[in-house]
Structure formats: structure tokens, C-alpha cells
Amino acid sequence: MRAAETNKEKKGIIGGRKRELFDTNPKKIDFDIAENLKDTLFHAEATLGDALDADASYVLEFTNFGKNLIVGNKLSPDSVVQMSIILAYYRLYGEIVSSYEPVLTKAFYHGRTEAMRSTTMKAANLCKCWMNRMSTKNDKLNALRDATKYHSKKVKEAIGGNGVDRHLYALKCIGEKNGLPPHEFFKSDAWKALNHTILSTSNCGNPALRLFGFGPVTYDGFGIGYIIKDNGVQYAISSKHRQTRRYAHAIHQTLCEIGELLEPLTSQELGHHRSTHTSKEIAKVLKTAPAASSKKSLTTSGNEDVQFADGWDDTYGDTIQVPPSPQRSVSSSSSSRFPSGSSFVGISRQKTSTRNLIKKVGKKISDRA
């Protein structure tokens, strides 16, 4: 019997002959089900409901900054996100636990994945330094750079087939297949701790998706799927009814603190050219910064009078570069900070005309730098 019944009232011409068209509208299908099967389906549905309710999920969509700012500070986006996950757990529970991140080994024939263990000694040092109230911002930033750099190195080793998890697991399986007694190593506390993954993470590299997630792999763990975008990071976090929401908030707080340590991005558009400059590069041009008052003028050795816009002494104004000539238009997008009491502001994309930023009279200052 055909899935779609023939609609006698609709006719069509196909291949020169009249053919009846099929009605493709959805229709209800009635099944004759035995009573004992109905009871089985009902009990299966109840069991499935328990499995669905066993996991708690929470979504964190962090939009203060993303890949652009991290790469601009010469850090690996994936490594920074991994450190935020480990740091947030340490912040909340005071423990350094086993974490797992799959790394593709597609360079090899039939290659699938290798396990990258993000909880390294460098990551442990970062956690201790970060939560130490006596640590300075430079201490934290240096610890973050060390941890992310080491993480990136280990990721490259895993991609090249130099990981340890798959190799050890293969040896274990070969021994079991050949009826050999398990080696003492596979009974050790180290092996058990390594494979009791509290933080099971995975990076979905498709920025077209909004969310990506999965459940925890242990009864006391978290399943964390994340997507890194240009100006944000999406986290989908789940657990067996641990404090999922609170842990997500700890990740948010950690990311905000990381953002406060990173150097803001400054982008200048000059005609059809685009360049990025740091505060140190600008200082070479300006030699000295003007006073913080509104529209103060700076007189250089060449008797060049330069008038500055409001807020030169803050993060926004401090990253403004002098345009090469008063006739050329300049558009600026730079980062700013929240007022007191807020943690971090992402990159501002607003553009402003030359008149509102800086007005130069006389010869170009950049020629004098």
C-alpha cells in the first residue's frame, strides 16, 4: 500500500499523459497495539524520562571577547578556553582534577582522535598562582602564558600521534584479547585517576553553530562542549545534578579576569589600508602623552601644535594613533572598560570621525618620531 493516498480530484500531465497526483499532506496512522505492548511502551517511556532528567544542563554564552582578542595577544584560543575550564573548577572546589580533550589525528590513515590531557603541571601552577591573593597581575599573566604555551605544545604532539592515552589503551586491549593477565600499571591509582575524567571537554570548530554539547562521562563529572567565535565563546555544560549553573558562573568570572589582563585591540583604518598598533608604538610617535584634561594641546620640538580629544589618558584614548595627514580620514575601533565595579568590556566596534578623535595642525608628527 502506498504511503500517500491518491487524490482523485487533482490531475497532472506528465510525459504527455494525464497522471493522478499524490497527496503528500501528513496523515495520522492508527496502529492496532496489543495491551501488553502498551504497558511495555509506557514503562520504557518512564525509564527514558529518568535518563533525561538525570542530567542538568546550562548554557553560557560569553560575548565580552573571543578569538580575535586572544590571538591579538599571541595566545591560543583553545588553550585559553581549556585553562578557563580548569581554573573555574579549581576556583569553585579547590581541586585539580583530570580533564580530557579529543584531538584529531586525521593526518594519519584511518586516524580518529587522541586524548589531550589539559591538566598539566603548568596548568596546576596557573591555578595556584591565579587563586593566590598575593599574586600580581603580571604573575597571573605569565602563568597563563606558560600554561597555554605548554598546552599548545602537547596538542601538537597529540596531533602527531605522540599522545599516551590511545597507545596505553591499545596495549591494554591487546593483552585482554590474548588472554594475558592485566599489567600492574593498569591497576595503579595513577591509571584510575587519569581515566576518571571529571572535566570531559570538546571543541567544535564550526562557528556557524550556536551551541554544541554532550553529557558527562562520569557520575561526578561535567560534560563541556564549546565553540570559539571571533568575539565570544559558547559553552554547553552538563552534569549529573552538580552545581552546573554555579560552575558556569565560575567560568564567566574567570574569563572576565583573563580579559582584564589581555592587551586591548586597536584597529586603525586609513583609506583602504588597515593596521594594528600598540600603545608602545604610539608612544614612539608622540614621545610624551598629554594631560588628561579635555582637548589639551601638545607642543613638540618642531613647534607643531596637536589638539587631542577627550579621554586621552584612558584605555580608549591611549590607543589612538595620529593620522598621517589632516586631509586623510581616520576611523578607529578600540576597546574600552566598564566603569568601576564591572569586570571587562569586549572590543568596541564604533567608528568616529577624525574631528572627534584628534586634529593635527602643521607638519606630520610621525615624521619627527
SS3 163: coil
Check residues 71 and 278 and name the one with the higher pLDDT: 71
Q: How far is CA 198 from CA 9, 91, 205, 250, in A?
A: 63, 15, 22, 16
| CA proximity to 208, closest of 194, 182, 229, 187 | 229
**pLDDT bracket for residue 16 (50, 70, 90):** low
**pLDDT at residue 143, rounded to an integer:** 97
Q: For 94-107, give the DSSP string.
A: S----EEEEEE-TT
What pLDDT does 239 receive?
A: 96
pTM, whole model, 2 decimals?
0.63
What count of other Cβ atoms lies within 10 Å of the Cβ of residue 230? 13
**Strand, helix or coil at 359?**
strand
**Whether pLDDT at 221 is above 50:** yes
Share of the chain above pLDDT 70, in %: 66
User: 83-126: per-residue pLDDT in tens?
Assistant: 999 999 999 999 999 999 999 998 899 989 999 999 999 999 99
pLDDT above 90 (res 147):
yes
- Strand segments, DSSP code E, in the chain are 6-14, 17-22, 56-62, 99-104, 113-116, 199-203, 222-229, 232-239, 266-270, 273-276, 297-299, 305-308, 330-334, 358-360
Instruction: Look at 52-61, 128-137, 289-298 and tell me which has the smallest mean pLDDT.
Output: 289-298
Nine cell digits for residue 328: 586623510
Query: Pick from 296, 291, 299: which is nearest to 307 by CA?
Result: 296
Instruction: Please name each of the domains of the chain with its CATH number.
Output: 54-163+198-261 (3.30.559.10), 266-368 (no CATH)
pLDDT digits 0-9 by tens, 248-273: 999 999 999 999 999 887 654 444 44
Confidence of residue 20 (pLDDT cuts 50, 70, 90): low
In this prediction, residue 15 carries a pLDDT of: 56
- Return the minimum-mean-pLDDT range out of 38-52, 201-215, 236-250, 339-353: 339-353
- Contact in structure between 216 and 200 (CB atoms under 8 Å): yes
Do residues 114 and 102 make contact, with C-beta atoms less than 8 angstroms apart?
yes
Q: Residue 344's pLDDT band (boundaries 50, 70, 90)?
A: very low
Spatial separation of the C-alpha atoms in residues 294 and 312, rounded to whole Å = 8
Residue 338 contacts residue 348 (beta carbons within 8 Å): no
Instruction: Using DSSP, state whether 8 is helix, strand or coil.
Output: strand
150-164, 246-260, 261-275, 352-366: which range is least confident on average? 352-366
**DSSP-based three-state secondary structure for 277:** coil
Q: How confident is the model at residue 9 (pLDDT cuts 50, 70, 90)?
A: very low
What band does 19 get if pLDDT is binned at 50, 70 and 90?
A: low
pLDDT tens string 92-101: 999 999 999 9
Cβ pair 347, 65 in contact under 8 A: yes
